[in-house]
Structure 1
Amino acid sequence: MKRKIMFIASFLMIVIFAANLYSQDWPQFRGPSRDSKATGFKAPASWPEKLELQWRDTVGTGDASPVLVGEKIYLHTRQGGDEVILCLDASTGKEVWKESYASASSTGPSASHPGPRSTPAVASGKIVTFGVTGILSCLDAGTGKVVWRKENPTNAVPSFFTGMSPLIVDNVCIVHVGAKDNGQVLALDLNTGNEKWKWSGDGPAYASPSLMRIEGQKHIIVQTEKNLMALNFSDGKLLWQVPAIPIQRFYNCVSPYIDGNKIYYTGQGTGTKALEVVKQGSNFSTKELWSTAEVGAKWNTPVLINGFLYGFTDLRKIYSLNAANGQTGWIDAATSSDFATIVDCGSVIIGFPSTGYLIVMKPDPKAYTEIAKYKVSETPVYAFPVISGNTIYVKDAETLMMYKID
Structure 2
Amino acid sequence: MKKCVLIGLAIAAAALPVAANDWPRWRGPKNDNISTDTQFSTQWPAAAKKVWAAPVDIGYASPIAADGVVYVFTSLSKKDTLTAFKADSGQRVWQESYDNAWTGGYAGTRATPAIDGGNIFTFGGAGDLTSRDLKTRKANWQTNVISTLKAGNLQWGASSNMLIDGDLIYVQTGENAPIAVAVNKSNGQITHRSVVKDKAGYAAPILAEVGGKKQIIVFGASTIYGLSPDLQTKLWSTPWRTDWDVNASTPIYSDGKLFVTSGYKTGGGLYEITDKGAKQLWFNGDLKSRFQGAVLDGGYLYMATEAKKPDGRVVVAEWATGKIVAELPDRGTELGMGGSVVRHGNHLVGLSERGSLSLYSATKDGIKRVTEYRNVVDGSQVWSTPLIYNGNIYVKGKDEIVCISTRP
TM-score by length of 2: 0.86
Instruction: Say whether residues 1:78 and 2:75 are aligned partners.
Output: yes
The residue correspondences of 1:251-400 to structure 2 (distance < 5 A) are 251-267=246-262, 269-278=265-274, 283-315=275-307, 316=311, 317-332=313-328, 334=331, 335-375=334-374, 376-380=376-380, 381-400=382-401
Task: Indicate the larger mover: 162-171 or 39-48.
Answer: 39-48
- String of CA shifts for 1:185-220, please: whole Å, max 9, x gaps: 111111011222110422221211122233433222
Where in structure 2 are the equivalents of 1:101-112 lying within 5 Å? 101-107=98-104, 110=105
List alignment gaps of at least 5 residues for structure 1.
1-21
Partner Cα separation in structure 1 for residue 211 and residue 396 of structure 2 = 38
Letter in 2 for 1:141: L
For residue 196 of structure 1, what is the amino acid of its counterpart?
T
Q: In 2, Cα distance between the equivalents of 1:235 and 1:58?
A: 41
Is 1:32 the counterpart of 2:25? The answer is: no
Moved over 6 A (4+): none
1:332 to partner: Cα distance: 3.6
Structure 2 partner of 1:239: 235
3-state secondary structure, aligned to 2:172: strand
Tell me which of 110, 114, 120 is aligned to 1:127: 120
Shift of 1:174: 0.7
Residues 45-56 of structure 1: pairs in structure 2 closer than 5 A: 46-56=43-53
- Give, as a single letter, the amino acid of the residue that structure 1 aligns with 2:273: V
Q: Measure the CA separation in 2 of the matches of 1:79 and 1:236.
A: 38
- Partner amino acid, structure 2, of 1:318: V
Stretch deviating more after TM superposition (375-384 or 58-67): 375-384
Q: Per the alignment, in what secondary structure is the counterpart of residue 233 of structure 1? A: coil
Report the Cα distance in structure 2 between the residues aligned to 1:23 and 1:296, rounded to whole angstroms: 32
Secondary structure in structure 2 of the residue aligned to 1:252: coil
Task: Give the RMSD, CA atoms, in angstroms.
Answer: 2.2
2:213 & 2:231 partners in 1: Cα distance? 12
Larger deviation, residues 322-331 vs 221-230: 322-331
Does the 8 Å CA contact 2:83/2:92 hold for their aligned counterparts? Answer: yes
Q: Is the 8 A contact 1:36 1:344 kept in 2?
A: yes
Amino acid at match of 2:186: N
Check the 8 A contact 1:231/1:238 in 2, yes or no: yes
| Residue ranges of structure 2 left out of the alignment (5+ in a row) | 1-18
Computing the radius of gyration from Cα coordinates, the structure with the larger value is: 1
Cα separation, 2, equivalents of 1:273 and 1:97: 43
Does the 8 Å contact 1:38/1:345 carry over to 2? yes
Say if 1:129 and 1:138, in contact at 8 Å, map to a contact too. yes
Offset, 1:344? 1.0
CA distance in structure 2 between the partners assigned to 1:65 and 1:354 by the alignment: 13
The answer (yes or no) to whether the contact 2:78–2:103 under 8 Å persists in 1 is: no
Give the structure 2 partner of residue 229 of structure 1: 225
Separation (CA, whole Å) in 1 of partners of 2:325 and 2:91:
45
Superposed displacement of residue 45, structure 1: 6.4
Counterpart residue identity of residue 366, structure 2? A
Return closer, same or farther for 1:263/1:155 CA change in 2, 3 Å cut-off.
closer
Partner of 1:64, secondary structure, is: coil
Deviates more, 1:147-156 or 1:218-227: 147-156
CA contact (8 A) 1:97 1:143 kept: no
Q: What is the rounded CA distance, in whole Å, between the counterparts of 2:48 and 2:253 in structure 1?
A: 32
Shift of 1:364: 2.3
Task: State TM-score, norm by structure 1.
Answer: 0.86
Contact conserved, 1:41 with 1:345, CA < 8 A, in 2? no
User: In structure 1, what is the Cα distance between the partners aligned to 2:60 and 2:231?
Assistant: 32
Which of 61, 64, 68 pairs up with 1:67? 64
CA contact (8 A) 1:43 1:347 kept: no
User: How many equivalent residue pairs?
Assistant: 376
Instruction: Give the structure 2 partner of residue 3 of structure 1.
Output: none
What's the CA shift string for 1:64-116, capped at 9, x where partnerless?
11111222222211133321122222222222222211225422xx1xx3211
C-alpha distance in 2 between matches for 1:343 and 1:46: 17
